[in-house]
Amino acid sequence: MKWFDTDTFREILDSLVRNRSRSLLTGFGVFWGVFMLMLLVGGGQGLKGLLYRNFEGFAQNTGIAFTDQTSKPYKGFKKGRAWNMNYEDVDRLKNLVPELETVSPTVSFWGRSIAREENSFSDAVVKGVRPDYARIETPKLRYGRYLNDSDNANERKVCVLGKKVYTNLFPEGGDPCGQRIRIDGSYYSVVGVDWNENSISVNGSADEAVTIPLNLARKAYNQGNIVHLICFTAREGIAISDITPKVRGVINRAHYVDPSDEQALFIMNTQLIFGIVDNLFRGINFLVWLIGLGTLLAGVIGVSNIMMVSVRERTTEIGIRRAIGATPWQILGQILSESIVLTLVAGMLGIVFSVLILAGVEMAMTEDGILKAAFQVPFSTAVVAALLLAVLGVAAGAMPASRALQIKPVDAMRDE
């Protein structure tokens, strides 16, 4: 008789069936522990996905510069002076800060009235951008295309609509490309619809925005040489925080502003935001595994206790098997195998049920056929959980197996 063969497996099944009430009670503890662990892991993944939707489309190595009143005197100018960036600053950054990959100026105008026939949207933000702004905030196009270099160079009256603007102007749905809308009294042709819903209100919320070519926006709204924001990305391997002082110094000096005046030129670093989110979820994942493993360990301790009771009740059976020739390894194999099978079966059921529940949550989080976040357990996590269950099964059966090996045939007959 080997360590684990067909007869041993049949004996394990017979034992589980004979003691089905105890087996169910024992397995439930493991089932619940694995179920909670997988549910927490999958739920954490989904929550992380939902949070990252707020930053959807934004490059993680982005800096966004905008001006405020100066807080320090500089070269004869008093503090509290208002100032603006201009288009020459874009060229300065490109020439003097080689660490930058993309430098894109933008202008924006809030509370604008957008209309199409009898439909309207009164609280839109009109954003004037260049085509390279797509490297800063990548559009998620539902229809049509984004602005191109020809649109900007020729000052074409074309626009890309945000999701909320589109649903208000085109409640019937469908592709709006080629149709005309009215923005502050001027007509524009729709060339695309951006389905981004991020909550980073840089230059206005993406779903409430109407994007037009930058050169056209400058003339339509009499902005002259003024730039509201300058967005930039760093080259690969370079952190935005490392070049922020250099960027501030280049722009500030050109406008007679103290190079160290952080209030005068505020630079938002999206790398820091993403870093905070990543650290937050590292902490959440640690707590999830701590709670889940604690629950699972409690279930495994329950398995060990019940297996110990089972061995005590089967003292005569084990003694008789020893008397008719069963080796210690065969007794050990049966007890450990029973513990492993019970743990694995209960654990796998916990994984399956948690995945089914998370799939139901995913269905509830689907809008317009688009999944908002993936509430699922990573395959690698499920594999690790299965291996962990096998190890814990061995650990749970170790003490009962040791107790079974101490049973002597003579003592078992005396108990009988």
Residues 239, 374, single domain; the answer is no
Residues 208, 252, single domain; the answer is yes
| 3-state SS class at 142 | strand
Residue range(s) defining the domain that contains residue 296: 6-55+275-415
Q: How far apart are CA 359 and CA 371, in angstroms?
A: 11
Reading the block at residue 228, the tokens are 């509201």
What pLDDT, in 10s, does the model give residues 374-394?
Answer: 777 777 777 887 788 778 777
Residues 208, 77, single domain; the answer is yes
Reading the block at residue 94, the tokens are 């490109």
What pLDDT, in 10s, does the model give residues 87-129?
Answer: 999 999 999 999 999 999 999 998 899 999 889 998 899 999 9
Q: What is the pLDDT of residue 37?
A: 82
Q: What is the pLDDT of residue 1?
A: 40
Reading the block at residue 321, the tokens are 């098997």
Residues 334, 248, single domain; the answer is no
Residues 257, 288, single domain; the answer is no
Which residue from 350, 374, 297 is spatially nearest to 53, judged by alpha carbons? 374
Q: What is the pLDDT of residue 56?
A: 66
Q: What is the pLDDT of residue 143?
A: 94
Domain boundary among 210, 238, 270: 270
Residues 43, 117, single domain; the answer is no
Interstrand relation of 209-213 and 119-129 (parallel, antiparallel or unpaired): parallel
Q: What is the pLDDT of residue 181?
A: 95
Q: What angle do CA 165, 169, 172 make, to 5 degrees?
A: 120
CA 252 to chain centroid, in Å, comes to: 37
Residues 133, 226, single domain; the answer is yes
Q: How far apart are CA 288 and CA 239, in angstroms?
A: 31
Residues 41, 106, single domain; the answer is no
Q: What is the pLDDT of residue 14?
A: 55
8 A C-beta contact, residue 130 and residue 214: yes
Q: What is the pLDDT of residue 227?
A: 93
| 3-state SS class at 266 | strand
pLDDT above 90 covers what percent of the chain? 37
Helix axes of 328-364 and 270-313: crossing angle, nearest 10 degrees: 140
| 217 located within any domain | yes
| 208 located within any domain | yes
Domain boundary among 205, 239, 270: 270
| 411 located within any domain | yes
- Give the number of C-alpha atoms closer than 13 A to the C-alpha of residue 102, restricted to the C-beta side: 20
| 192 located within any domain | yes
Residues 131, 99, single domain; the answer is yes
Which residue from 108, 97, 110 is spatially nearest to 66, judged by alpha carbons? 108
Residues 220, 313, single domain; the answer is no
DSSP conformation class of 158: E
- Give, in order, the Cα–Cα distances in Å from 129 to each of 83, 133, 137, 161: 21, 6, 11, 13
| Cβ neighbourhood burial of 380 (10 Å; 0-12, 13-18, 19+) | exposed
Domain count, the chain: 2
Q: What is the pLDDT of residue 32?
A: 79
Residues 212, 306, single domain; the answer is no
| 1 located within any domain | no
pTM for the complete prediction?
0.68
Cβ-defined contacts of 256-263 (< 8 Å, 24+): 256/74, 256/75, 256/77, 257/70, 257/74, 257/77, 257/81, 257/83, 258/70, 258/72, 258/73, 258/74, 260/72, 261/70, 261/71, 261/72, 261/74, 262/71, 263/68, 263/69, 263/70, 263/71
Q: What is the pLDDT of residue 202?
A: 66
Q: What single string gives the DSSP state of each residue in 179-245?
A: -EEEETTEEEEEEEEE-------TTS-GGGEEEEEHHHHHHHTT-TTEESEEEEEEPTT--HHHHHH
Residues 357, 264, single domain; the answer is no
Domain boundary among 270, 285, 301: 270
Interstrand relation of 209-213 and 366-367 (parallel, antiparallel or unpaired): unpaired
Q: What would you report as the CA-atom Rg of the chain, rounded to the nearest whole angstrom?
A: 33
Residues of the chain where predicted confidence (pLDDT) is lower than 50: 1-4, 17, 20
Q: What is the pLDDT of residue 315?
A: 67
Q: What is the pLDDT of residue 4?
A: 46
Q: What single string gives the DSSP state of each residue in 318-370?
A: HHHHHHTT--HHHHHHHHHHHHHHHHHHHHHHHHHHHHHHHHHHHHHTEETTE
